Structure 1
Amino acid sequence: MTQSVLSNHLKIKTMINSYSDSFTKAELKVANVVNERTEEILYFSVTELAEAASVADATVLRFCRKIRFKGYQDFKLALAQDLSAQKQFNVEETGADDYISHFFQNIHYTIEECKNLITKEVLDEAIAIISEAKSLYFFGVGTSGITALDAKSRLMRIGKRADAISDPHFQSMLAATLTEKDVVIGLSVSGSTKDIIDSLTFAKNNGAKIIAITNYAKSPITKIADLVLLTSGKELPLEGGSIFAKMSQLFIIDLICIGLGIQDEEKTKRMKEKTAKAVINKIL
């Protein structure tokens, strides 16, 4: 058991070593970063790994394909599986920790880190853009699509109309109809979700303002966005839908709602009362 776990952990590095003679000088730089900073790589976007290795994004993709992976995300998934196997080995050797306390500490750390990433000037600018928007849309797919629906609900309760679009086809069609008076908030933990990038690009080309909520300052979504709000709670490839990443997104959305509410406290209070009364009879 122990031997198989350790062998699995060494799989990626073994593959890298076996192909090392065929690497170009640039690809070898990527290999060195992966070997030296293995756990960090799990939280790197393509661009961040490329910068760490002082190479182009395309070099990272060639490196992944050379060691028989379809792309960067496929490579990171395999790397996560290797490290997960190693962690399982450590648990078998040392015993499981108090997972309740560990989970709580992670929640506390996530919110604290998210708070430290926020720049009030940028947040205020985002709130001003949203406040002036003729139409406001949240774009997200997968679990970020669920967060988009939550954001729509929270804004509705304070009297701010917004829509949440999680289907990539509808996102693209809607994006084609937007103007400079509209605002799209793109939600993507990785900042490199292809469907979101494509939809936001359409919206941007039609003049819409783009606000990105993402974990990665250097990712494709930030190149499109007019404004970036950074989140914490980074998730591993094996942890899609991580509650820490979702909490971080919701933390930012709540701050936006609070900021909007402060602009007109009387209206916000009135709308909260009206929306509460509208659903009170539905509670048994």
Structure 2
Amino acid sequence: MASGDFLLKINARYNLFTKAEKKVADYVLQDPKRVLFLSITDLAEACEVGDTSVFRFCKTMQLQGYQEFKMLLSLSISEDEDSSRIASMLSGRITQEDTLEDVAKKVLQTNINALNETYSLLDFQELSLTIDYMIGAKQIYFFGVGSSLLTAMDAVDKFVRITPKVHNYADAHLQAMAASILSPEDLAFVISYSGATKDTIQVAQQAKKAGARVVCITRFAKSPLTAYSDVVVLCGTNEGPLQGGSTSARISQMLLIDLIYMEYFKRTYDESSANKQKTSGSVLKKLY
């Protein structure tokens, strides 16, 4: 495991933790070197939680126990690394005191982290099921509002080159109406960073009520949107107060769209290749 990867994975899975587990995660991310020399009871006392909360934290991280946790933690820390610098690097938080050079480095690191975190959260079984649903669907509608609408539009822009069954509406009212008349043969692909946007949740509700399958891309595993989703695909990135609307969320979403597109193309190669030739040829005369 490359240096820092395990700490990135903790950061990426942060929203999957319970309240007590988040206390453990916060302590580990703040001072990982110190944690290496703590017993499970010492760490629990430092975090003001019980031993079982530390053990559950390890289980949420998909580890066998505390010793495996310490082993992976030690591998991600070199002897001369400053723990506070690690935490700052991981968060990428921009402050009022940062210089332009600091901002540039943190924006770059935030976007790199978004990709790494998204990769660490990949559930290949869920992704494979998503492709199965897409291939079997009669029609596929990509839904989203705000910046997530841009991701939905980008997804249609990619997929319309290889299949005619993808659609998107920019207007929230049209999205709700379209979702309400989907059939059990259709697929609603709902994109929302927060998973708590009213318009997006309404679309998922309407699609589910109509009998369609629902796939969502979201940051949070536990959100109102996921309650209406058959498949949940998680993207990674955490934005600070000065980073709202940054591209990191869209970058992580587009990584997933690219991955889904490539796997769909691979599984439907003959049809997708033929359609790609047709759609590419249709606009050749429009190019100089």
TM category, shorter: 0.5 to 0.7
Q: Is the partner of 2:216 in helix, strand or coil?
A: strand
Structure 2 unaligned regions, length at least 5: 1-12, 22-93
Q: What code does the residue aligned with 2:134 have?
A: I
- 1:217 and 2:217 aligned: no
Q: Specify whether residues 237 and 106 from structure 1 end up closer, same or farther in structure 2 by C-alpha distance, changes over 3 A only.
A: closer
Q: Deviations over 1:92-135 (max 9, x none)?
A: xxx45444343332222211111111111110000001110011
1:206 and 1:185 map into 2 onto residues whose CA distance is: 14
Q: Percent identity?
A: 34
- Which residue among 175, 178, 185 is the counterpart of 2:179? 175
- 1:129 and 2:96 aligned: no
**Which residue in the other structure is 2:39 paired with?**
none
Is the contact made by 2:95 and 2:242 (CA closer than 8 Å) also made in structure 1? no
Question: Equivalent residues in 2 for 1:62-141 (5 A)?
Answer: 87-88=95-96, 90-91=97-98, 95-141=99-145
Is the contact made by 1:192 and 1:221 (CA closer than 8 Å) also made in structure 2? yes
Q: Note the C-alpha offset of 1:221.
A: 0.6
Q: Note the C-alpha offset of 1:239.
A: 3.8
Q: Deviations over 1:218-263 (max 9, x none)?
A: 1111111010000012334654432110011111111111111111
Structure 1 unaligned regions, length at least 5: 1-42, 55-85
1:154 and 1:165 map into 2 onto residues whose CA distance is: 15
Q: What code does the residue aligned with 2:202 have?
A: D
1:236 and 1:281 map into 2 onto residues whose CA distance is: 46
**Which residue in the other structure is 1:11 paired with?**
none
**Which residue in the other structure is 1:186 paired with?**
190
Q: Specify whether residues 261 and 169 from structure 1 end up closer, same or farther in structure 2 by C-alpha distance, changes over 3 A only.
A: same
Q: Note the C-alpha offset of 1:44.
A: 8.9
Q: Report how many residues are paired.
A: 205
2:244 and 2:171 map into 1 onto residues whose CA distance is: 18
Q: Note the C-alpha offset of 1:53.
A: 8.0
Is the contact made by 1:189 and 1:234 (CA closer than 8 Å) also made in structure 2? no
CA RMSD of aligned residues (A): 2.6
Q: Specify whether residues 126 and 282 from structure 1 end up closer, same or farther in structure 2 by C-alpha distance, changes over 3 A only.
A: same
Is the contact made by 2:138 and 2:165 (CA closer than 8 Å) also made in structure 1? no
2:152 and 2:100 map into 1 onto residues whose CA distance is: 35
Q: Specify whether residues 158 and 106 from structure 1 end up closer, same or farther in structure 2 by C-alpha distance, changes over 3 A only.
A: same
State the TM-score, normalized to the length of structure 1: 0.66
State the TM-score, normalized to the length of structure 2: 0.65
2:257 and 2:207 map into 1 onto residues whose CA distance is: 21
**Which residue in the other structure is 1:82 paired with?**
none
Q: Is the partner of 1:158 in helix, strand or coil?
A: coil
Q: Is the partner of 1:87 in helix, strand or coil?
A: coil
